[in-house]
Structure 1
């Protein structure tokens, strides 16, 4: 996949404290995403980003780079950051399994499960290693926008 295509986060289900999403580049399903709950009023670190269109960029200076650069030295070029979100900052697509690990960020997953009323994503690192270069490529091509929409 090397052509410029629309990047979308499509939210498909809600748990008690979690939201399950799909990440697409064009019509190609890339991975599952786990996010915090959808709320009308933001609660710091417990609310997913609102629906809308936002920018994407590579952030090489934020603190998460200290963990990802040594772990993925051939892959890592900076954290994929979703930018231009009103009242949000440092929103990264990253590894994690549980809504308690999101802090407002989407977590990658190869598959999902529903446990005790909340969604989890599993094999997160594998999904991240797969989707990260695809997103970096798209950002490099100038395809640096992501559309976030609720579909439930």
Structure 2
């Protein structure tokens, strides 16, 4: 059984820098909204926990990603079963302005004006998405989310 982990490592003013691990191996950086005790819609990262990953082929961003990646796209990688959240996908983006609670892929990061940003998001997505979709299509898998060094 595959082990997929999101480990939160550092916080900016309104951003959180995380690491994504697949079977114990660092895969890429992730950018999330701030960790908050009380949810602020569109500005809060998902809570710690274990959540099922699935391929969502019907909603949200599928049309855009199908156009951008006609051969590779099999569906959005959705993090499901999160209390008080819906339609949370792992996707492309660089700043917290590109997310509303969804983790964004990044190849590297920087801290700009006390906010984390990730870069080469498309490259990270193109590298990690096929790995994750193979795992999600083959077995029931969960994403474990933990706050590490915060």
The corresponding residue for 2:29 is: 32
For 1:77 and 1:5, the matched residues in 2 are separated by 19
Shift of 1:141: 2.3
Unaligned runs of 5+ in 2: none
CA distances 1:23-79 after superposition (whole Å, capped 9, x unpaired): 001111111000000000001100000000000000011120111001001110110
Alignment of structure 1 residues 71-150 onto 2, 5 Å? 71-150=68-147
4+ residue runs of structure 1 moved beyond 3 angstroms? none
The root-mean-square deviation of aligned C-alpha atoms, in Å, is 0.8
TM-score by length of 1: 0.96
Alignment length (residue pairs): 149
Residue 23 in structure 1 maps to residue 51 in structure 2: no
Unaligned runs of 5+ in 1: none
TM-score by length of 2: 0.97
- Secondary structure at the counterpart of residue 74 of structure 1: coil
